[in-house]
Structure 1
Amino acid sequence: MAASIEELVQVVDSTTILRLLTTKPRLLAFGEPTHGENALLDLRNKLFHELVEQHGYRAIAIESDCLMGRVVDDYVASGMGSLDDVMERGFSHEWGAFEGNRELVQWMRAYNDGRPADEQVRFAGFDGPLEITHAASPREAITRLHGYLDPDLLPCNSETLDHLLGADDRWTNPAAMMDPSQSVGRTPEAKELRVIADDLVALLDAQEPQLRTTSEDEWYQARLDARTATGLLRYHYWMADTSPSRMAWLLAVRDSMMAGNLLALAERGPTLVNAHNSHLQRDKSTIRMGGVPAQWWSAGAIVSTRLGKDYAFLATALGTIPHQGVDAPPADTLEGILYAVPQDQYVVDPRRLATAIGAVTPRVSPWYGYGPLDPTHLSSVDGLVFVKDAGVRRTQRTE
């Protein structure tokens, strides 16, 4: 068995990965089973460099706040501001502190320096403005959308909008995540805001022939604001729900917001997408929250259904994460079989791998922050990247 698997092993580079696919996808999704690990971020950055320089990719999208991501995109395009400020204000989930993300932004700024706008690389966050502890106020998105549209046709004035929104801390109250009664998502004001947001989106669609003749970037931002405003109001509505389906709805709304952002990015050109495997896989995603299981269709499943071969998914499997207590995997698991191969990093065709190994035991993670790859998903993965030790960094490129 080991010899046959070693015959499947290939070097991890962009050319090898694209050869596994039948076509160059508009969205190439690179999943990870945990966040923030050096080896994974280094590998992502390496692949992005190669995809840009050798295969014409012009954007990267990561699992971070879609509105905050505009701060990073502005910086890599213009160089205005300081890198420290961008890393603090341009990433959610505290991911601006990851060295691999800082190196990514530095490389993008250096690449863009002196290039015309149509040759520059772009950055995007594709997550909603959502954290584990709370969801953002819809103020930023709905207010900017309101100001973008024809003032003579607006469903309300800015004063009414501001009154309905109220104080932002009402929306971001962390107690609402565990206690639906603390949420403002089903108050009369929130319900009226959902109607207004729906009318604003309808007005945006109706005025497209005029608005598209101005700035394409402004139009893209307005569509992003429209998706975010309606998505956030929907998310807050379900935060106030008391039924058993509450958590499943929240998970589904989040990933549907992600999917909308990815589909919009696909319209702009070939993009590398980086997020947790569970947000990018084609199979149904599962999680246990407070001991209760929940299932939902991920952003990747939704986008794959829409785009077909223009969406490709690379899953990543890990051997060890020593500093988190994730030691060498059992030999009878998928990760254990891959761990026995001498190479530290490699990519394999998952369908050929599934034939070679047959049925295996699913790995159980000793740490909540790491999700082993479900071996039954191999048939729906386009490429499987294996990293033996998540704590080991490769030598960084500096050019």
Structure 2
Amino acid sequence: MSVRDIGLHFGDDPAGFASALDRLLDGFRPAPALLGLGEPTHGAAEFPRLRNEMFRHLVHHHGYRSIAVESDLLAGTAVDDYVTDGIGDLDGVLATGFTHGFGALSGNRGLVAWLREHNADRDPGERVRFYGFDGPFEITGAPSPRAALSAAHAYLAEHLPRVPYDAGDLDSLLGDDGAWVDPEVMTDPAKSVGATEAARALRLLADDVLAVYAYEAPALLRATSDVAYFRAHAHARTARGILRYHAALASTSPERLPALLGLRDSLMAEHLRTIAAAEARRGPCLVFAHNGHLQRARSRMPWHGVPEGLHWWSAGALTAASDLGDRFAFIAAAHTGGDGPRELAESHGADAVALVSAPG
């Protein structure tokens, strides 16, 4: 089905847009827990504007209580604290709560300001929450796992009588943070520390720490709160993801770059599944990212020297293949004037397409 087929064309007719969106949502069986909205490129103001208008309608008319965007989950907790409890200030959370430079986008400023205004006079259970769902990865590489792993371990140490390892074990294996963030590592695997004995030991340690979150979940939830557990658990998942990424950075395999892309999206998919579980009793979540991170079709990136490009499975494809299945739905957005909606839906593996007029 194409959104255009039922009249959803984002432009100057807000009422018609909302009506078409309602008909689209009424046709989903079952109703999605995660509704993805993709954009074909980053930085174009019209797609965040589409997202913001769509999300306001979803909140007011369809019970949506959260939004997840393509930005680091851990950094995004600062935005969530601001929009739900008024902690911090708008400029501060835009600077620290978004990654990839997305805090500078006017659409994100508008989104965060609206969320804070909307939540200000609502009970905690009715407040709309904000999530990132990306890992802390940039085009230049990955960070040291220290912050994520130390936070995950410290939470366990504070609330359980016994935990695997101690803080000294972590520090001795982590070594100098500078070795983890060498900017040349993306082009020179030999500069990576991901294959060292210490890094391999840290991957085992991180896996052991993450396992505790599964088998001690009842005790941890009783000792703290749903939100505290969710965030600490996210630190543990992220630490494991960072260490996997560093291991792939050290590889000399021709599949090195597709593996890095796949590892990033697999962590995104893990985060999305935990967000869906956390929000299950409150309402659905709108997920906003590049089409390439949400489509069910295999993703492709052009790459110099690789005629066929780089291929990997996106977070959307991985989520659709998980136990969420058809409770993940995806609307691909595109500019008018290109391929028709049916062709776009087929090429992206999308349930629908939203066509947006290019500025000018």
Is 1:175 paired with 2:158?
no
What is the Cα deviation at residue 20 of structure 1? 4.2
1:124 to 128, 131, 152: 131
Task: Report if aligned partners of 2:6, 2:24 keep a CA contact under 8 Å in 1.
Answer: no
Matched, 1:185 2:227: no
* Greater C-alpha radius of gyration: 1
Determine if the alignment matches structure 1 residue 226 to structure 2 residue 196: no
Inter-partner Cα distance in structure 1 for 2:85 and 2:110: 17
CA shift, 1:388, in A, is 1.8
Q: TM-score, normalised by structure 1?
A: 0.81
Structure-1 separation of matches of 2:24 and 2:235:
34
Alignment partner of 1:12: what SS? Answer: helix
Deviation (angstroms), 1:169: 2.4
SS at 1:50 equivalent: helix
Look up the equivalent residue of 2:312 and give its one-letter code: W
Picking from 285, 289, 313, the partner of 2:330 is 313
Whole-angstrom CA distance in 1 between matches of 2:200 and 2:318: 27
Counterpart CA distance in 2 for 1:196 and 1:153 is 15
The question of 1:377 aligning with 2:347 is answered yes
What's the CA shift string for 1:200-227, capped at 9, x where partnerless? 1122222112112231111111221121
Residue 273 in structure 1 maps to residue 287 in structure 2: yes
Please name the residue that 1:259 is paired with: 269
Residue in structure 2 matching 1:285, options 281, 284, 299: 299
Task: Give the 5 Å matches for 1:103-252.
Answer: 103-150=110-157, 152-213=161-222, 214-252=224-262
Pairwise CA distance, 1:181: 0.8
Checking the alignment, whether the CA contact within 8 Å between 1:20 and 1:383 is kept in structure 2 is no
Counterpart CA distance in 2 for 1:147 and 1:84 is: 30
Verify the 8 A CA contact 1:21 1:382 in the aligned structure 2: no
Pick aligned residue for 1:298 from 314, 328, 352: 314
Percent identical residues = 45
Query: Alignment RMSD, CA only?
Result: 1.8
1:321-367 per-residue CA deviation (whole Å, 9 max, x = no partner) reads xxxxxxxx5xxx51xxx5xxxxxxxxxxx5xx45xxxxxxxxxxxxx
Structure having the higher helix fraction is 2
| Structure 2 unpaired stretches of 5+ | 9-15
Superposed CA deviations along residues 130-178 of structure 1, whole A, max 9, x for unmatched, are 0011211111111011111146533322122122212322212211011
Report the CA distance shift for 1:308/1:80 in structure 2 as closer, same or farther (over 3 A): same
The more displaced of 201-210 and 48-57 is 201-210
Is the Cα contact below 8 Å between 1:247 and 1:294 reproduced in 2?
Answer: yes
Asked if structure 1 preserves the Cα contact closer than 8 Å seen for 2:143 and 2:242, the reply is yes
The residue type paired with residue 377 of structure 1 is S
Gaps of 5+ in 1: 320-328, 339-349, 355-372, 393-399
Partner of 1:9: 7
SS of 2:138's equivalent?
coil
For the residue of structure 2 that corresponds to 1:163, the secondary structure is helix
Q: Which residue of 2 aligns with 1:94?
A: 101
Q: What secondary structure sits across from 2:321 in the alignment?
A: helix
